[in-house]
Amino acid sequence: MRLFAAVVPPEEVLDEVSGAIAPYVGQVPGLRWPDRITWHITLGFFGEVPERVLPELEVRLARAVRRHSALDLAFDGFGAFSSVRRARVFWAGVTGDSMIRLADSVKAGARRAGAAETDEKRFHPHLTLARAKTETDLRPLVESLSGFSGSPWRAEHVRLVRSYTGAQVRYESLAEWALAPAGQG
């Protein structure tokens, strides 16, 4: 099973992001825009995980999530990986409470359960909005969206998600855990 842990923002804040990028969707050559139903903020990507690991993974992730408080966040600005000039991923940035400790705990729990983290890059909280097969200069796109700042929202849950790849990417939520009430983690 191809698995990852994620925070899924509320619909109303996704509406704001969707509205901001709507004029550009399908207008930038080389960018593929996934369905909004797949939007999430990845905390840890585990890749292919044997089914026998799933019960222990769920226990470890539940424990890791409970140790952290709900996060006050907002979408603010847009950018790209690896750079705006040579982009393969276009994203909306996330500001507010640091998600780094939560992501580190989730990844550590997954490793202890036998689900190795496959993405060793430094964690950078973001919402992936589009991808390119080849490096693409997204400076005009990012500059035209530079004034965007979304409404604040609270992340209260973490999901374990199964990813089905193919012509139509599909996600299935396998489990969800509540973060501690704000200020208690």
Domain positions in the chain: 2-178
The CATH class, in words, for 2-178 is alpha beta
pLDDT for res 5? 96
d(CA 79, CA 75): 12
- 40 is an active site residue: yes
Quick one: pLDDT at residue 116?
73
**68 counts as catalytic:** no
The answer on pLDDT for 185 being more than 60 is: no
Query: Which pLDDT score is estimated for 167?
Result: 75
pLDDT digit string (tens) for 57-87? Answer: 999 999 999 999 999 999 999 999 989 999 9
What's the rounded Cα separation, in Å, for the pair 81 and 79?
7
Q: Which residue of the set 68, 124, 126, 157 is catalytic?
A: 126
- Could you tell me the pTM of the whole model? 0.92
Catalytic residue among 40, 68, 124, 157: 40
- Cα 93 to Cα 48: distance, rounded to the nearest angstrom: 27
Q: Output the pLDDT for position 122.
A: 79
pLDDT, position 165: 83
pLDDT at 117 over 90: no
